[in-house]
Structure 1
Amino acid sequence: MCIQKEKKYSYIKKGKGHPLILLHGLMGGLSNFNALLDFFPKKGYQVIIPSLPLYNRPLFLTNIYSLSKYIAQFLSEIGVKKSTLIGNSLGGHIALIIAKKRLDLVHSVVLTGSSGLFEKSFGDAFPKRENYEYIKKKSQEVFFNPKIATKKLVDEVFHIVNDKKKGIKTLYLARSAMKYNMSKDLSMIHQPICLIWGKQDHVTPPEVAKEFYRLLPHSELHWIDKCGHVPMMEHPKKFIEILEKWLSKFEKKNYENSFSTI
């Protein structure tokens, strides 16, 4: 991965065409979207994956609304308009906030395991945070297949929760996401929405997907079986198949009429 830096932003950009903006979750990273980064630039899309500044901003800016403003400013500064925002977990929540507030930036939204209505988290603290086996178990619970939680992934989570500053900021972000409930806002989001959900998601359970589908006026709901909270990692081929088919509904000429290329 070649990470570009521009002003305060770090991101990956690949391909040309309609922009797909991939937004990772609280415990996620740029590599969560490797399969999409490999596939969609070959199909006439530009893939952009910004790195969310989860741990390097002051506490008063460590919240879901501030992150949404950061991504909106990033898109404006690099010249993106009318993009498709694809968000997992916290990233989906950010996408929804931007879609509501910045119609100029968002053509459509894809949510997968998104927060914004209800999500299970570590709670108010990280109990047993120094217990590696506990963190390993919690990491495995994110997936239907626990083997997806590799040692490298578990090590990364273990490092985050045992770093005092990162641990505190993680809790701040988790709390702000839970407080920023969007149930009353979703009826005002009129862009096309694609919901791609794991049937065995224990973090944002299937009931959450059904509620998003009920409240979002122009949404479609797609399920992936034997799949947990991060479908694009656990079943990348199926995820891409659903996403490509959904994106193909919007003809290239309609994309070209509604956004400016970079």
Structure 2
Amino acid sequence: MELRRQQQHGFEYVDEGRGPVLLLLHGLFGALSNWEKVVAEFAPDHRVIIPVLPVYDAPLLQATVPGLAAYVERFVEALALPPMLTLLGNSLGGHIALVYTLNHPERVSRLVLTGSSGLFEDGMGGSFPKRGNYDFVRERVGYTFYDPAIATQELVDEVFAVTNSNAKCLRMISIARSAQHHNLAGELHRIRVPVLLVWGLNDTITPPPVAHDFARLLPHAELRFLDHCGHAPMMERPAAFNRDLSRFLRGPAASAMA
């Protein structure tokens, strides 16, 4: 399905369906289209919202994980979203979701993390994109997936365009370094909501041991691995991802566990 963007209060976002709110957060190289299969599956009985995170145009001092979490906070307030959201985050989006939950535990009922940073991340295969090197960018984007064919030319072209902009690349590097340095291991015990971890068994950016660490440190976490899957399960294994998410949403929320 084609996702329809809208603008309000200075924010750009997707807002589809009605019902309990699912707030989806994309990663550093992510796009709204990463969540198309999730929106198609859940919009019939949920309100699915995806803000466009300002990863390439935020003020430089705010191009950090805490800065982006503050952006989500302003977004939630501007749209007057109801309390007890379900937050879903992929990669950097999961890291932002964790920080938001730590800062606003009263607003989050469930948390879903897939390939999340926050403990460890081998971003871009251990190196930052090389400006003007298309082959390098294509290789690194393919590194995200178990099946490199999912890294379409359109996706590679989009990332290449970013790396050819000095301003965008500077912000991307700032955010990537913030994600690598902003370790949450000592704080995860404070997250008391139910957490679903859906992880690619072949994820090379946040490898399976990272998922096991999250499961150990989060008090109410359950972990599901998807085989033949890399760093973006909702793109590479959408049917299995949606099945695990649907089952999780039928379970108890934070208020029911209190």
Q: Which category describes the TM-score, using the shorter chain as reference length? A: over 0.9
Q: How does 1:118-197 map to 2 (within 5 A)?
A: 118-122=120-124, 123=126, 125-127=128-130, 129-197=131-199
In structure 2, how many angstroms separate the alpha carbons of the residues matched to 1:134 and 1:172?
20
Q: Does 1:51 align with 2:52?
A: yes
In structure 2, how many angstroms separate the alpha carbons of the residues matched to 1:96 and 1:217?
13
The ranges of structure 1 where at least 4 consecutive aligned residues each deviate by more than 2 angstroms after the TM superposition are 122-127
CA contact (8 A) 2:26 2:93 kept: yes
Residue 163 of structure 1 and its aligned partner are, at CA, apart by 1.1
CA contact (8 A) 1:9 1:74 kept: yes
Deviates more, 1:68-77 or 1:227-236: 68-77
Q: How does 1:1-262 map to 2 (within 5 A)?
A: 1-42=3-44, 44-80=45-81, 81-122=83-124, 123=126, 125-127=128-130, 129-250=131-252
In structure 2, how many angstroms separate the alpha carbons of the residues matched to 1:148 and 1:124?
21
Residue 56 of structure 1 and its aligned partner are, at CA, apart by 1.7
SS of structure 1 residue aligned to 2:211: helix
In structure 2, how many angstroms separate the alpha carbons of the residues matched to 1:57 and 1:196?
29
CA contact (8 A) 1:116 1:178 kept: yes
SS of structure 2 residue aligned to 1:183: coil
| % identical aligned pairs | 41
When normalised by structure 2's length, the TM-score is: 0.94
Gaps of 5+ in 2: none
Residue 161 of structure 1 and its aligned partner are, at CA, apart by 1.1
Residue 250 of structure 1 and its aligned partner are, at CA, apart by 3.3
Gaps of 5+ in 1: none
In structure 2, how many angstroms separate the alpha carbons of the residues matched to 1:228 and 1:179?
23
- AA aligned to 1:236 is P
When normalised by structure 1's length, the TM-score is: 0.93
Cα deviation digits, residues 156-205 of structure 1 (max 9, x gap): 11111111111111000001111110000000111110000000000000
SS of structure 2 residue aligned to 1:104: helix
RMSD over equivalenced CA pairs, Å: 1.5
The count of aligned residue pairs is 252
Residue 78 of structure 1 and its aligned partner are, at CA, apart by 1.2
Cα deviation digits, residues 73-122 of structure 1 (max 9, x gap): 21122122110000000000000001111022211100000000000024
In structure 1, how many angstroms separate the alpha carbons of the residues matched to 2:8 and 2:231?
31
- AA aligned to 1:155 is D
CA contact (8 A) 1:72 1:105 kept: no
- AA aligned to 2:189 is S
